[in-house]
Amino acid sequence: MTIDQYLPPKRTIMTPGPVEADPRVLRAMSSPILGQFDPAFTSMMNEVMESLRKVFRTNNHWAFPIDGTSRSGLEAVLCSIIQPGDKVFIPIFGRFGQLLTEIAERYGAEIHTLECEWGQVFDPQDVINEIENVKPKIVAAVHGETSTGCMQPLKEIGKACRNMNILFVVDAVATIGGTEVNVDEWFIDAAIGGTQKCLSVPSGMAPITYNERIEEVVNARKKVERGIATSDDNKTKGNQPPITSNYFDLSQLQDYWSPRRLNHHTEATSMLYALHEGIRIVLEEGLEYRFYRHQQHEQALKTGVESMGLAIYVNHQWKLPVVTCVEIPEGINADGVRQMMLNQFGVEIASSFGPLHGKIWRIGTMGYSCRKENVLFVLTALEASLSYYGADIKKGRAMQAALTFYTSEETAKERG
């Protein structure tokens, strides 16, 4: 039996992840494998730590990736700090807030939540009031909710947590590298990023960072594995029960990401090459310019969508700049439209979860996918497919609106 070589079709990916990987990242991934203790490799590991600190805007010592998709980063942080019975408070404004609950619950947390309507964010003061009531050990919150296209302001919540000596954990999976995430300024104790969204690296790693407040909790649970522990290790064992996950045990991962290089898992070599190159691109572009670029393409997309006469689902101050949710016109075959975009144009946009399923499409403008030709193409494909399915839209305007936006921006730039 022979199997044909797999050649993926060419796509324009405009979903909230995974997005198109930067070609430079794909090239880096085809580099030869190095041993995980080879100094050529470990010095690259140190560079990844150093550059991740810049991307997270933190002075934290700990900044390294967890091998696994973004939720592995969420799980590593949560399982390393939660002990059974610990109170964890989670403000939920979409599907990924629910995910934090799911993970924390499995590690035995006593869960407290506050929910708001999907499509909205919380007034930070409401969250703070509830935190004062509950007095949790940990507050875990999502920054950019890709399920609803909203972004929660975090600084006031972070500050309140710090004042009350509560650990503040943030899912910044969708926002890192696309819009501001200021770990230190916002008093975030642990933040988790994603690769396949605004960093334009394939899915499979979760960069995290955390401070001494988290490290203290982790070290109290430290245990070095049988077979590699020395007699000194057995003397310095933490006084708290060990972390219940072996793979996600941050105390062990710290030893691996420190000069001791104590063996844990085998580092995902090619993924680390990818992350190294991905972050290099982010820092080369500059965070501020990168955020500006994401905003520009978001504007162009929004202008185009609105010119068609379609409504944007979340259009308030706290819209997530890297995801634009479009309301599906009444009576339209939503899956038909999306399939036509994919099959005829090779353009992918996302449907949605839970209560929003069938109500909105979600269009991402993230990382390498966030560029002019992609925005123009997704608008073309959307308009044509909607027209094909008989939607009552204003035809021929979207492209002109986006082109006008881009050319006037370009003229403004030329004039300086």
Tokens 């300086």 — which residue? 416
**How many positions of this chain bind ligand PLP (CB under 6 A)?**
14
Look up tokens 């805007």; give the residue.
57
Residue 17 or 124 with smaller CB distance to ligand PLP = 17
Give SS3 for 196: coil
Binding of ligand PLP by 96 (CB under 6 A): yes
CB of 96 to ligand PLP, least distance (A): 4
- Decide: 320 and 146 in contact? Cβ < 8 Å: yes
Please state the closest distance from residue 130 (CB atom) to ligand PLP, in A. 21
Closer residue to ligand PLP, CB minimum distance, 158 or 202: 202
Tell whether residue 221 is a contact of ligand PLP (CB under 6 A).
Answer: no
Alpha-carbon distance of 295 to 112, in angstroms, equals 35
Is the CB of 153 or the CB of 309 nearer to ligand PLP?
Answer: 153
* Range 363-382, binding ligand PLP (CB under 6 A): none
Between residues 65 and 136, which has the closer beta carbon with respect to ligand PLP?
65
d(CA 287, CA 178): 8
In angstroms and rounded to an integer, the radius of gyration of the C-alpha atoms of the chain is: 22
Q: Does 398 bind ligand PLP (CB under 6 A)?
A: no
Binding mask 284-323 for ligand PLP (x = CB under 6 A): ----------------------------------------
**CB-wise, 81 or 198, nearer to ligand PLP?**
198
Closest CA to 283 of 50, 84, 5: 50
Instruction: List the x/- string, 132-171, binding to ligand PLP by CB under 6 A.
Output: ----------x-x-x------------------------x
Closest separation in Å from C-beta 252 to ligand PLP: 21
Q: Check the annotation: does 362 bind a ligand.
A: yes
Contact partners, residue 264, CB within 8 Å, separation at least 6 = 225, 249, 252, 253, 255, 256
Instruction: Say whether residue 174 binds ligand PLP (CB under 6 A).
Output: yes
Exposed (0-12), middle (13-18) or buried (19+): which is 264, by Cβ within 10 Å? buried
- Angstrom distances, CA of residue 239 to CA of 243, 249, 286: 12, 16, 43
How far, in Å, CA of 109 to CA of 102, rounded? 10
Asked whether 169 and 77 are in contact (CB, 8 A), the reply is yes
Give the DSSP H or E segment for 145.
strand 144-145
Closest residue by Cα to residue 68 from 208, 168, 190: 208
Decide if 312 contacts 298 (C-beta within 8 A). no
Of residues 17 and 304, the one with the C-beta less far from ligand PLP: 17
The amino acid present at 362, given as its one-letter code, is R
Per CB under 6 A, does 67 bind ligand PLP?
no
Could you tell me how many residues make up the chain? 416
Q: Write down the least CB distance from residue 100 to ligand PLP, Å.
A: 9
State which residue, 194 or 304, has the beta carbon closest to ligand PLP.
Answer: 194
> Nearest Cα to 278, choosing from 327, 224, 329, 206?
206
Q: Contacts with ligand PLP in 179-198 (CB under 6 A)?
A: 194
Which residues is 191 bridged to in the sheet?
170, 209
Q: CB-wise, 181 or 393, nearer to ligand PLP? A: 181
Name the residue nearer to ligand PLP (CB basis): 201 or 218: 201
* CA–CA distance, 172 with 191 (Å, rounded to integer): 6
Among 55, 66, 173, 356, binds ligand PLP (CB under 6 A): 173
Among 51, 58, 70, 299, binds ligand PLP (CB under 6 A): 70
Tokens of 52: 């991740």
Dist CA 199 CA 368 (whole Å): 8
Report, in Å, the least distance between residue 73 CB and ligand PLP: 8
Site string for ligand PLP, 30-49 (x = CB under 6 A): --------------------
> What is the smallest separation between the CB atom of 17 and ligand PLP, expressed in angstroms?
5
Annotated binding site for substrate: 362
- Footprint of ligand PLP on this chain (CB under 6 A)? 16-17, 69-71, 96, 142, 144, 146, 171, 173-174, 194, 203
